Chain A
Amino acid sequence: QVQLVQSGAEVKKPGASVKVSCKASGYTFTSYYMHWVRQAPGQGLEWMGIINPSGGSTSYAQKFQGRVTMTRDTSTSTVYMELSSLRSEDTAVYYCARERYYYDSSTPGYWGQGTLVTVSS
């Protein structure tokens, strides 16, 4: 079965960077895109971007362009999301979510457990 296991909670200072990992298992890693979605405390869901684990190509929401980098390591079936120049508004739970469809980018179908990133001085 599809499993996505994310790294643990992080506390960062404003201006720092954070790198969240998402280790996948139970399927062919390179055949399904991975989305990143975040949720600030008490707020809704916000789509950040997507990575194709096969070739490493990415697409980011304009809001995060220049601050977010999504990468993957096919040898360990792990995707990473790095967010730089952190500010207090980046405090949120960050989710990875595997695409539901083969080689598609439409539907976050299987979700990780989430990683809380707290930005505080």
Chain B
Amino acid sequence: DIQMTQSPSSLSASVGDRVTITCQASQDISNYLNWYQQKPGKAPKLLIYDASNLETGVPSRFSGSGSGTDFTFTISSLQPEDIATYYCQQYDNLPRTFGQGTKVEIK
């Protein structure tokens, strides 16, 4: 199975800050990577697909980049409603696998 490693596991930032999360795959997955946002008590929501494409309706302050084994997810200006846990997910191979998550909090 492909292992997905996210860092950090949690972070605290101020409103307006730039936030960056990284995701590393245990093998080359090209750009076969999605990013999800999960708010407490809610189902995950797809934010970015194919490593860098913004899902319809998702604010442009969210972005993704990377290919191969190293990927980055960025919130350009953190907003209070962005408090959530973020997950990466690979779809190069079965089984699909998720990173362990990054919890984002407001400082």
User: Which A residues have a C-beta under 8 Å from some C-beta of B?
Assistant: 35, 37, 44-47, 49-50, 59-62, 95, 97, 100, 105-109, 111-114
Contacts and interface: CB of A to CB of B under 8 A. Distances in A.
Given A45-B87, A112-B43, A107 B97 contact: no
A59 B87 CA distance: 22
* Secondary structure dominating the interface of B: loop
Given A45-B38, A45-B87, 20 more contacts: A44-B99, A47-B89, A47-B97, A59-B94, A60-B95, A61-B95, A62-B1, A62-B95, A100-B46, A100-B49, A105-B91, A106-B32, A106-B96, A107-B34, A107-B49, A109-B46, A109-B49, A111-B44, A111-B45, A114-B43
Contacts of A47: 89, 95-98
A37 B55 CA distance: 20
12 contacts: A45-B36, A47-B95, A47-B97, A61-B1, A62-B1, A95-B43, A97-B44, A105-B91, A106-B91, A107-B89, A108-B44, A108-B46
Interface in B56-72: none
Interface in B85-107: 87, 89, 91, 94-101
Given A45-B98, A47-B97, A61-B95, A111 B49 contact: no
Contacts of B101: 44-45
Nearest to A63: B95
Nearest to B87: A45
B46 A107 contact: yes
Nearest to A46: B98
Contacts of A105: 91, 94
Nearest to B45: A111
Contacts of A62: 1, 95
A50 B95 CA distance: 9
